[in-house]
Chains A and B, each alone.
Chain A
Amino acid sequence: MNTSRITAVVRKEFAEFRRNRFVVMTASILPVIFLIGPTAQILAIKATTASAAFDRRVDYSLFLPMLVSVFVPAMLAAWSVVGERDQGTLEPVLTTPVRRAELVAGKALAIFLPALLISYLVYGVFFAITQLFAVAPAAAAVRHAPQFYAALVFIPLLSAWAIGAGMAISTRANDTRVAYQLSILSSLPPVAVAALFSFNVITADFTSAVLFAAGLLVIDCAACFGVSRLFDRERLVLGTRT
C-alpha cells in the first residue's frame, strides 16, 4: 500500500466535498435535525417531569445522534464508486498505477474522518447545551448515562460498517438511486441492535457492550477486505462482470 496515493485520493475527495456545496448542505441536514430534536427533548424536561417519561426522553435523546454516524457516511459511500463511474471520472483513475486497496482506503478514509468529526461534534454540542441549560436532574442524567459513553465507542464502529456496506453496494450498483436506497437499508441492522441496547430492550452491561463492539469490529475488518475484493476493474468499467 502506497500511503501517498491514499493521501492523494483523500485530498481529492475532500476538495470535491469542499467545492460541492450541495453535498455539504445535504450531509448537514441530518446532523442538524438529530442535534436539535434530542437537545430540545432534554431542555423540555422540567424538574417535575415523571420519572418514566424522563428516562424515555433521555434514552431517545442519546440514541438519535448516533444515527448521524450511520446515515451520513452511508449516503456518501453509496455515491463514491457508482457516482464516479456515472460522471466518467473512474476509468481514467483506474488506468493509473493506483491499486484497488489504495483507492478503497482513500475513499473510505475521506468519508470516515468527516463522519467521525460530525458525529462527535453533534454529541459534543448536545452535551454542552444540555449541561449548560437543562435542569439539573436532566443534565445529570445525560452526564451519567452509560449510553452516552458507549456511543463514543460505537460511533467509529457504526460509521465503518456504513462505509463498508455503502461502498460494497456502490461497486455493484448500476444506478446511483439504487445504491443510495440499499446503502441506507444495509445500515439498519447494527442501528437496530444499538436501539435495543439504548431503549433497554436488551439489558446493556459492560460485557454485552464489549461483545457487540468486538462483533462490529470483526465485521468492519471483513468489510474492508471484502470491498477491496469487490473493487474489480472490469466490473467497475462495464458495470458488470463477464
Chain B
Amino acid sequence: MGAAIEVSRLTKRFGARTAVDDVSFTVQTGEIFGFLGPNGAGKSTTVRMLCGLLAPTSGEASVAGVPVAADGGESVRERISVMPETPGLYLKLSVAENLDYFARLYGIPDRAARIHQALTAVGLAQRANDLCGVLSKGLRQRAALARTLLNEPQVMFLDEPTSGLDPAAAHEVLTLIGALRDRGVTVFLTTHRLDEAERVCDRVAILNTTLRTIGHPDELRQTLFSRTLAVITAAGLPDPEAVFKGLPSVTSWQQVPQAQPAPPAGALAGYLLAVKDPVRAAPAVTRALVAAGADVLQIAEQRASLEEVYLQLITGEEKAADRSGEKGALR
C-alpha cells in the first residue's frame, strides 16, 4: 500500500510568526496516525494546509495521491473528510438534516441509506430527527463524526474526536476509528489525549512548530528513555552494589525510594536498574539476587508512557528555551 499523505518541508508563516516550520512526514494508507503537540504547536494549521484550506508558505503535500492546493483542491476534498475541533453543526437543524446537507454537497446518490449507515455507526440512529441544538456536547461530537463518514473518505482528519465524550462513548468512538483502519481508511488523528493516541495509533508524531519526533509509541520510548528493570525484594539487600555490579547488560542501579538509609530488614525494597537489554539482564539479575539470598517478589521491565515521552520532548525543550532566555537576559 502506498502513502496516503506525503508532506515535504511544509512551512506556514503568519506574518513574522512561524506556525509550522519545515515539517516532513509520510502516512501510509490504512494507518492511524496520531498528531500530538501542545496548544499553538501548529497541529490545526497543518491539518488545514492538508485539507486545502490554507496555502503553505513553502513546501509541498499530497493527500490521497493528489497534490494539495489551497482553494483549488476540489479533488482532494472529494477524497477526504474533516472533523474540526468544534462539531460545526447547524443547531437549528436536525441531525439528519445536517447530514443531508453535507451528503448533497458531496453528491452522494443514496443519501438516506448512507445517512442511516453513518448514524448507526456512531450510535445516533435513534436521535436522527432531534435538533442538534438540544443534543449534549458528546452527542454533537458523535453527529459530527457521523458527518465525516458520509462520503466514505480515503483519508479522515479528526481533531479531538473524543473531546467531551464520557468514557463509554469515547471507547465506542475509538473502536469505530479502529474499525476504519480495517476498511483501509487512513485516519489522521489530532489529539491531546496521549492515552488514546497510544491505544489506537500505529504511529505518532509530536509537533511543536517543528516536528520533534515520529514513530511508533514503543519506538519513541526506546529512543528517548533508557530501558529499566524494576526489582522488588521482600527485604533490603545489605550490599546492593555487590549484587548488581558487573551483571551483563546492567549499566547502573538506584534504590527506590532513594531515601537513605536502606530499608530495615522485613520491609519491601525496590531497585531500578538501567539496562541495555532487559531480556538478557533479567535472568542474570534474578540469579544474582537469589545467590545473595534475597526473596525476589517481582522483576519487570518498566515502560515509559507516551505521556512521559511527550513531556520529555515538550517540557524538556521549554525548560531549555527558558534557560537560554535566562542566559540571554543575564548577558
Contact = CB atoms under 8 A, between A and B. Distances in A.
A15 interface: yes
A20 B14 CA distance: 37
Interface string B88-101: 11111100010001
A95 B80 contact: yes
A97 B90 contact: no
A97 B77 contact: yes
Interface size class of B (residues with CB under 8 A): 35 or more
B93 A88 contact: no
Interface stretch (B27-35, B47-55, B195-203): B47-55
B106 A97 contact: yes
A90 B57 CA distance: 23
Contacts of A15: 92-93, 97
B22 interface: no
B88 A88 contact: yes
Contact of B88 (A5, A19, A89): A89
A32 interface: no
B92 A19 contact: yes
B78 interface: yes
B293 interface: no
Interface in A8-43: 8-9, 11-12, 15-16, 19-20
A134 to B, nearest CB: 41
Contact of B77 (A19, A95, A234, A242): A95
B154 to A, nearest CB: 13
B13 A19 contact: no
Nearest to A89: B88
A94 B89 CA distance: 13
Contacts of A91: 53, 82, 84, 88
Contacts of B71: 100, 232-234
A219 to B, nearest CB: 25
Given A234-B53, A237-B48, A242-B14, A5 B105 contact: yes
Interface in A150-170: none
Contact of A95 (B82, B86, B97): B82
A97 B53 contact: no
A237 B88 CA distance: 13
Contacts of B105: 5, 8-9, 93, 96-98
Kindly name the residue among A7, A11, A91 whose own CB sees the greatest number of chain B CB atoms within 10 A: A91
Contact of B101 (A8, A99, A237, A242): A8
A11 B101 contact: yes
B2 interface: no
Closest 7 CB pairs of A and B: A8-B104, A19-B92, A95-B82, A88-B86, A92-B88, A96-B105, A88-B88
18 contacts: A4-B104, A5-B105, A5-B107, A9-B105, A11-B101, A11-B104, A15-B97, A89-B88, A91-B82, A92-B147, A95-B82, A96-B106, A97-B74, A232-B71, A233-B53, A238-B14, A242-B14, A242-B57
Interface of A: 2, 4-5, 7-9, 11-12, 15-16, 19-20, 87-100, 232-234, 237-238, 242
